[in-house]
Amino acid sequence: MAYRVIIVDDELLARKRIVELLGTRKEFLIEAECANGEEAIEQINTLAPDVLFLDVELKDLTGFDVLQSLSLQSIPLIVFITAYDSYAIQAFNNYALDFLLKPFKNHRFFETLDRIEERMKLNNYGTDMKQFLLDIQGNLGNPPNTMASRFPIRENNRTVFLNKDRIKYICASSYYSDIHSIEKKYTVRDSLKNLMVQLNTSNFVRIHRSTIINVDHMLELVHSDYNEMDVRMQDQELFRISKSYKKDFLKKLGLAP
């Protein structure tokens, strides 16, 4: 028996790797690959796959947003894919679901496939998944966070707990990210995508593939003659707003046409 699979991840290389690994197991048939949440919702509701590999944080939506838009009559078995472990793993484990923490080893992925086959043979996962979705809709829409206003930063042999409202902007720097606070700059080995999830507040907005800003520290928008736009921060730093993020940024500010 072949299990029909949909892969949802906004990183092309991540999708390709899953496709390659699944290709070694004839029990799994890939029905679709999705690079964003909106496409995923349409494909899942249309194709009703048996298995869903779902990235927790997509460019347009979260994995939870995708789940909330699915029909309860066609819930697949879900394997979450995540580059961080800060807020959802306990919820996944409570419902005997699996998650893959990036970067995962090949043997870890194959363990997941074994678990999928075992669960499929039981043929009773649907009830659990329905209750899981109901819990997401009612309780898990916001990740639990016992330090919602503070952000932990590892610095040498200590961890600094920085108040989020002190962060002005964050800039990508090769494999690192520079977190600019009012007091100083911190450098962490993490991606802007992961940091956005960890910040978990509407004050922070991504305006470029290499820039996140705290809108509370924004001074003004600067318009050019070529329909380009920059944002000037209160400390006079100027950042370009890329076309791919412009629409969502203006929408968050209530300035979208």
In this structure, whether the domain defined by 3-140 belongs to CATH 3.10.450.40 is answered with no
Region 144-172: what's the mean pLDDT?
A: 79
Per residue in 26-74, pLDDT (tens digit) is 999 999 999 999 999 999 999 999 999 999 888 888 887 888 777 756 5
For the domain 150-252, what is the CATH superfamily, name and number? Answer: LytTr DNA-binding domain (2.40.50.1020)
What residues have CB less than 8 Å from 172, skipping those under 6 apart? Answer: 178, 191, 192, 209, 210, 211
- Per-residue pLDDT band at 257 (split at 50, 70, 90): low
Distance CA(248)–CA(253), nearest Å, equals 9
pLDDT value for 33: 97
DSSP string, 136-167: IIIIISS---TTTTEEEEEETTEEEEEEGGGE
Cα pseudo-dihedral 19, 21, 25, 28, rounded to 10: -30
Distance CA(217)–CA(235), nearest Å, equals 8
- Per-residue pLDDT band at 129 (split at 50, 70, 90): low
Whether 51 contacts 3, CB under 8 Å: yes
pLDDT at 253 over 50: yes
Other CB atoms closer than 10 Å to residue 119's CB: what's the count?
A: 17
Q: Which part of the chain is CATH 3.40.50.2300? A: 3-140
pLDDT at 137 over 70: no
Q: What is the mean pLDDT of the chain?
A: 82
Angle between helices 106-122 and 125-135 (to 10 degrees): 110
The burial class, CB within 10 Å (0-12 / 13-18 / 19+), for 252 is: middle
pLDDT at 12 over 70: yes
Q: Which part of the chain is CATH 2.40.50.1020? A: 150-252
Region 101-123: what's the mean pLDDT?
A: 87
Q: How many residues does the chain have?
A: 257
pLDDT value for 22: 96
Provide the token pair at 58: 């997509």
For 230, left (φ over 0), alpha (ψ -120 to 50), or beta?
beta
pLDDT value for 144: 43
pLDDT at 215 over 90: yes
Higher pLDDT, 111 or 224: 111
